[in-house]
Amino acid sequence: MKKKDFFKSSPLQGTRRGIATFAMALAVSGMLSAQNWIDVTDTYIVNADFSTGTNEGWESGTILPAVNATFQNAELYQSQNSASQKVMGLKAGKYKLAVQGFYRAGGNDNGAGYEAGTEVIQAYLFAGTDSVKMKSLYSEAKDGSVANQRNGWPDGMEGMHAYCEKYPESYWNELTFTVNEGKEMLMGIAITTNAGGTWTCWDNFKLYIEGTAFDAFAVKLNKLEFLQDSLQVLGITASQELSPIIDKYKEYNASTPESEIAQATVIIEEHTALAQTLCTHGATLRNSIARAQDIYGKMESGVYQVADAVRADLKNGIEAAQSILQLSTLNEVKDGVEQGIADMEAATAKATTFISLAYSLQKAKDLADRIGGLEGNEAYAQVETLLSGKEEITYDVAAAATSSLNAVCLPAMTEEFLEGASDENPIELTSFITNPNIYQKTSEMTPPEGWKCQKGSADGKWYTTPEGTGNKGLICNSWTGSRLTGSNYSQLIGGDSDGAVKLPDGLYTLKAATWTNTEPSSVHLYASTDSMDFAFAEVNADKALYDNASETFSTTTEVSSFEVRDGKLYIGVVCDGPVTGNGKDWNADNFRLYYIKKDVISAYRDRLQVRLDSAYSKHGVIVEIGIDDSDTYGIALDEQEGYPSLIGHATVEELKMAIEDLDDLNAEADSIIKHYKTITPLLSEGSALDAQIRDGLAYAQPKPTADFSVALEDAMVYAEDMSWDNYLDERIKTKIETLNGCMQTLRASIALCYPMAKAKTLADQIGGLSDNEAYKAVVELLKNDDFDEIDADMNTEALKMACVEAMTPEVLAEVSVDHPLDMTSFIVNPNVYQDATDENDSPINTLVNGWECTSTADSPARTDQLSGDTWLSCWSWSGNAAHNIGTPNVYSQVLGNMGNQEGKVALPDGAYRVEAATYCTKQPELIQLFALTRQIDIETVESGTGADSTVYVYSDSVFTDAPFNGDKGKWDVAQGALSTTTVIPEVYVENGTVVIGVRGTGVVGGNGQYWWADNFRLYYVGQNKGDNIHGISNGNPDEKDEVDVFDLAGRMVRQSVKHADALGGLRKGIYIVDGKKYIVK
């Protein structure tokens, strides 16, 4: 079945069924005013079904989607990206966007994740700010008979085509949205992950507007009017012939006879197709003219010195192209525009090829002219002849002629001549670079002449871009971004090979046009005279800047003040840093070389000063953190005896040695600072955890506690030696790794033991329960490394019940806000320990022990991690009402006993305080920590059989809440200290139960938002209602009004400040506030 035949049989039929079909449908149905979905795909979306076999019309975030010309569909594989179109001139109304496609989360797992409900869909069909998840690959029935399938589902673009051809109603995704007023809107598919094996494949975009048949007519007329405006902008004067048509049909309305509407529709669609073609081709021609005019302008101004014939040809080409846009009818423009584009591009290519090949010739001639007296030389005459256009220029001819003239120029560059160079008046020696403008003789799959191209492990095949021969640019690309590291394209100027022309020794500057879509700090333009001492510059990250420089033979990046010795120079581009993500590449073009001056010592002085400036900065940090660097920086930076004293009088060799030594010292300092900034927060967090365990505020199993204590003590002893060598030693890495691992294990153990520990804490607060069997059982369980969790839960519940029974009026009367009873043991899983598994015993984070999680957010994950100590989490790509992280999401649990349920312990009546650690990325006021109380009425329903029923009737729900914290730093501190950020000062409980949790109270806009919650706490604070609200702020209840702040060295950094303001604005580090350590990150 061909693609057009598919649409005839598809339930989502479009204008491909033909204008005549549309007209007949109007005439026969008589439904000109009936509301319906009207197909406007061809009116608004370009190449909606990829029937061109290309990605024409589609734009992307980083790399365009792959389009299969045979199967005419598109895909993105392992790519966090988008494929979209900016749809212009939308009429106000209700729309439906549809696409046939699916998403696969990772490798083909035979639908296991989909069936288990754990599959996470991270591809979206979107229009503006509205979006919907794409269907899963596994959402349709498997069929092992279709081509290119695995386990019965499509496994490639052929498989997608084959499956949808056999099942045309499969994999349809739909999104409805409203356009309130005519405007442009971005529509397409977005993928939010580049995880391994993820795959999104799609075809057949469709766009509908809800309305009558006349609305469809109005949409088409609106599009024609929009296209006329576009033609006028392009300067196509014949666009005026559309005005009578538009004016005539603007008079039509819903009362116009169907037959007239049908006839008008045929005429409008014919002219729309013509206008659409002319807009596309006219824009291409207009851009080609603009580029040619820019090149011609540079020819006229002398920037490009070319033969008169080349200049005349380009001028004629521009004038011929402009005349096409001025033709009197649209059909005449149509007949001429494609040939005009081809002619304009050919004229421009001819001009740029001449400029590219003649560039080195011209620069060699310019050098000879600056030297003077070389006009009668045979090599000079040959270059002049080639530049005149009297002989055809090929790459080999131009390269040979340039090299010959360079050889003549070199001995003529006397000392006196070279002394005339300066920063303001350099001598350009670009002609000594082989192929500086990257002319490709063969194909993009081979290195260009003059360049040694080492791709390393990069998996891209191209060496030059764009495709084909002619004037190009260097490219190194890799789908797997990390493989780009190690790539190096270079050439040696003035080597020892036969015919090599050496450079005059001295100080130089190298320039080039560069660009990368990865981290610019990982890719460098470089120059080196000996391949050991390198001068670098980070490449440019602005694609538009590079494109402009590449087209205009200019540059973006400069390596300055480097030395050339013995006439040799290595130049090139290297990727020497880490690269993340997929679809990464770097580009380079237009290499330029300038001789600055003979004096090279100034360059080494400049390099030494750069190293000294870096050393001074690092020395300041080293001293501030208290590490002794007197034997390193102390000597190197001494103003009288150290390296600063060399700036004014040292030799080149002395400067080189100083630079090399400072490079080593600065690298060591970076490692020391990194180690200090890693181990110090670990020690602070570890000390806080250790103190909580020693003070009985937290409990963990014996082995994790012992291992952690040993690791903490070992790391603290090691860290006390504040010497350069100690913090540089590799052993500190081991200390850090060991302590961090033990701390994570300890946290998991604390979370596991927390309910038991808090039940014991409550019993200790009440007193007199140490002989209780449940108390003794809990104490014994806390001493064991391996205990039965069911046994632990039973004894915890028994101890809680004993505690409640022991809460006599006398005990409760002693309770206050400042001396509350810790009732956290009534919360199930307060520190969010994740141990849920699926039917295969694989860890999952879609369910959480103790918590009921209802959410329409895009991500099904309810905790941040799959297992161990973690926190509640809610994440959504979408920011719309249906799929955001706010309304209607609720995570909650019921505390206490709802109506004397068997085995449940009722909460004592009174006032409670609820706390938690919270964080929300955006609009935190719309996410609430809440407590809910409800009135319970107990009714007995009599039965004729004598088996009466007890019914609990809930009414008068009362919410008490507090907004989430929006400060990530406060969240980090709370995580480190097992503390909280958000407080509900009082919720009054009268019936033994309260519901606590997190809820959204509004729509949180924006894509990719999330919230976290952890460390839930419950305190009984008094018997009276309303006495406990004042004086409590978000944070810990025992914070003083005013505090002093100290650093770890014991120095006071702030005095008598409010507790809430204690850490604000301080630099990163660890501080002591009111006897507790806090981390500022």
Rounded to 5°, the CA angle 751-975-754 comes to 20
User: pLDDT for 310-334, tens place per residue?
Assistant: 889 999 999 999 999 999 999 999 9
Q: How far apart are CA 241 and CA 228, in angstroms?
A: 9
pLDDT band at 304 (very low <50, low <70, confident <90, very high): confident
- CA 446 vs. chain centroid, Å, equals 33
pLDDT band at 25 (very low <50, low <70, confident <90, very high): very low
**Per-residue DSSP letter, 272:** H
User: pLDDT for 566-612, tens place per residue?
Assistant: 999 999 999 998 988 778 899 999 999 999 988 878 878 888 998 99
Across 56-71, average pLDDT: 83
Length of the chain: 1081
Across 24-46, average pLDDT: 61
What pLDDT was estimated at residue 109? 84
pLDDT, the chain, mean: 86
pLDDT(1034) > 50: no
CA dihedral 1053, 1054, 1060, 1064 (to 10 degrees): -50
**Per-residue DSSP letter, 265:** H
Asked if residues 831 and 755 have their Cβ atoms less than 8 Å apart, the reply is no
User: pLDDT for 824-834, tens place per residue?
Assistant: 999 999 999 88
Across 214-233, average pLDDT: 87
- Candidate ranges 178-182, 531-535, 1046-1050; pick with highest mean pLDDT: 531-535
What pLDDT was estimated at residue 31? 37
pLDDT(705) > 80: yes
Return the number of other C-beta atoms located less than 10 Å from residue 833's C-beta: 23
Strand partners, 490: 452, 572
Nearest Cα to 726, choosing from 679, 659, 658? Answer: 679
- Candidate ranges 24-28, 281-285, 426-430, 575-579; pick with highest mean pLDDT: 426-430
Q: How far apart are CA 371 and CA 479, in angstroms?
A: 48
Nearby residues of 159 by Cβ (< 8 Å), 6 or more positions away: 146, 147, 148, 149, 150, 153
Q: What percent of the chain has pLDDT over 90?
A: 55
Global confidence as pTM: 0.52
Across 645-652, average pLDDT: 88
User: pLDDT for 926-939, tens place per residue?
Assistant: 999 999 987 655 55
pLDDT(28) > 50: no
What pLDDT was estimated at residue 498? 66
What pLDDT was estimated at residue 785? 87
φ, ψ at 214 (rounded to 5°): -65, -35
Structure tokens of 396? Answer: 């080999």
Nearest Cα to 605, choosing from 554, 552, 646, 563? Answer: 646
What pLDDT was estimated at residue 7? 29
pLDDT(459) > 80: yes
pLDDT band at 458 (very low <50, low <70, confident <90, very high): very high
Across 220-224, average pLDDT: 86
Q: How far apart are CA 501 and CA 504, in angstroms?
A: 10
pLDDT(943) > 60: no
Q: What percent of the chain has pLDDT over 70?
A: 90
What pLDDT was estimated at residue 872? 96
pLDDT(1033) > 50: no
What pLDDT was estimated at residue 974? 87
Asked if residues 348 and 291 have their Cβ atoms less than 8 Å apart, the reply is yes
Across 726-739, average pLDDT: 94
Q: How far apart are CA 240 and CA 247, in angstroms?
A: 11
514, 757, 851 from 834: Cα distances, Å: 49, 18, 11
Q: How far apart are CA 1003 and CA 1066, in angstroms?
A: 34
CA dihedral 559, 562, 566, 570 (to 10 degrees): -30
Nearest Cα to 163, choosing from 101, 77, 243? Answer: 101
pLDDT band at 504 (very low <50, low <70, confident <90, very high): very high
